[in-house]
Amino acid sequence: NYNFDERYLFEANLRNDVSSKFAKGNRSGWFPSLSAGLRISEEAFYGNMKNYVSSMKLRGSWGLVGNNRIDDYAYMSTVGVAPGYNFGNNVVNVASFTAANPDIKWESTSMVDLGLDLGFFDNSLNITLGYFNYTTNDILVKLPVPGIFGIGNEFPVQNAAKVRNQGWEVSANYRFKTGDFEHNISGNLSDSKNKVLDTRGEYWINGTDINTIIREGYAMNSYYAYRWNGFFQNEQEVADGPWLDGITPKPGDIRYVDKTNDGLIKEDDDRFILTDNFPHYTFGFSYGLKWKGFDFSMFWQGVGKRNVWLRGESVEAFHNNNEGPVFDFHLDRWTPTNPGASYPRLTVGSESANNAAKSDFWIQDAAYLRLKNLQIGYPLPKEWLSKSFVKDLRVYLTGQNLLT
């Protein structure tokens, strides 16, 4: 650590981690970090600026952190023995070998943070601005390898991916008085973006009921599905298509975008890489008030933008062909007399195959604002308690998640 006159601040760290999850020679990982701060408002040239901006501090940091969260002994091929072949009436054991990669090592995340701290009105109002950029290198993943390698679908772990997360944050806090009232207002807003930078040209699809994809140039686990393009309104629109491969739609069914313009919607050719499900524009706001012993506080919290793919009872009436549940929003179904409905025609069993296909029709807006906490209280005057064995007594009313 170094501190010069509370103006120049510096810190350096060096960390060494050793893990038995890697082979000898790769078990040690060195992870340094540096941080520095400059209190500009303490410089001589700042002068009369303090009348407008009471304090100003510029800060930045850089560091590496490591990750070794993989299965034990991934660097070592293990042997399994199990019955395998029949010779007449005799069953003979066979040995199988797992794929291994003795060269795996620590993955590391490079973390860059920049910030500016500002104070106004004798620091009664404080504002903080921040930016971060985290890049993870040598990510330990099981990338597919050519079939000629001869290991089936059990791929070895490799240091073979790179992902970046970057974003910003702004927060403010203001304390002030108006007569007998003391106010405290604070808030924050932040956002971040995720992007896969390198997977050695490979990509892979995850999930069963909901599919996500990991692919270079997109956010981690982006939704992977068809795009819906309205409902078929009549038999002529059905005849014009396009159709899901192997499924004949009917009026009131969901129509999908034919990316290849061949008249058929095929899983391998016509799915799109869609939005991700990460929350964006996460925010919070709080207000506190004190007046003649009484205190009041509330905290609001929410997300400004988020997309979530829902399945099951939350979106499907008579899910799994059961008797329920059916919610109010399920009732706005397509019928010939209700062509502008928000839901396709009501179907059960095999009739649902077209509408149940994985598409962005089921991706919904999940932004929200919530009154997370509200409280009002009053501490009884000490003179009221002087003749009792109670030193302090505060009566309060509080509520959690009162409004969403």
Nearest of 92, 69, 59, 78 to residue 19 by alpha carbon = 69
Counting every residue written for the chain, the total comes to 404
Query: 186 and 173 in contact (C-beta within 8 Å)?
Result: yes
pLDDT of residue 323: 66
pLDDT of residue 387: 78
DSSP reduced 3-state for 327: coil
Q: What amino acid occupies position 126? A: N
For 265-296, the pLDDT digits (tens) are 999 999 999 999 999 999 999 999 999 999 99
User: How many CB atoms neighbour CB 225 within 10 A?
Assistant: 25
pLDDT of residue 171: 98
Looking only at the bridges linking them, the beta strands covering 307-309 and 363-365 are antiparallel
Distances (CA, A) of 198 to 52, 112, 203: 47, 20, 10
Q: Which residues pair with 193 in a beta bridge?
A: 166
Q: Distance from CA of residue 25 to its chain's centroid? A: 35
Q: Which residues of the chain have pLDDT under 50?
A: none
E-state strands within 264-356: 264-265, 272-273, 280-291, 294-305, 307-309
pLDDT of residue 317: 80
CA distance 104 to 140: 8
CA distance 233 to 338: 10
For 100-134, the pLDDT digits (tens) are 899 999 999 999 999 999 999 999 999 999 999 99
